[in-house]
Amino acid sequence: MSNPPLSNEHIRHIARLARLDLADGELPDLARRLSAVLEYVAQLESLELEGVEEMSHVADETNILADDQPGSMLDRQVLLDMAPHTFDAFVRVPKVIDEGGS
């Protein structure tokens, strides 16, 4: 079952929700890629899973992650130099709650 094609308006709406700034030239590629994701989800929805035991975690004895270990700290000035926006000795980030901006 194929999903209807995503319009540029759909892509722009999704981009706005994700707080992405897209150029018009990026819309066709993003539409193609999002459509592929939706088609894959549709395939997953069609699977017959009766009798399949649920898993709470996909890791098993062959997929064990190492413990987190603290590493060396990044110098504050190096971090500030990499940040697109700063305020005094802080990195300024956009407001993400209540539809605000920076």
- Stretch 34-58: mean pLDDT, rounded? 88
Predicted pLDDT of residue 53: 83
Residue spans of the domains in the chain: they are 8-45
Predicted pLDDT of residue 101: 52
pLDDT in tens, 62-98: 666 778 889 999 999 999 999 999 999 999 998 888 7
- Stretch 25-39: mean pLDDT, rounded? 92
Going by C-beta distance under 8 Å and a sequence separation of 6 or more, which residues neighbour residue 15? 21, 22, 30
Long-range contacts: 85-93, Cβ < 8 Å, 24+?
none
Mean pLDDT taken over the chain: 86
Predicted pLDDT of residue 98: 72
Q: Indicate if the pLDDT at residue 58 is higher than 80.
A: no
DSSP state letters, 80-94: HHH-SSEETTEE---
Amino acid found at 35: S
Predicted pLDDT of residue 45: 92
Please give the Cα distance from 95 to 21 (Å, whole number): 16
In 3D, which of 30, 7, 33, 5 has the Cα closest to residue 20? Answer: 30
The count of residues in the chain is 102
In 3D, which of 28, 41, 49, 48 has the Cα closest to residue 2? Answer: 41
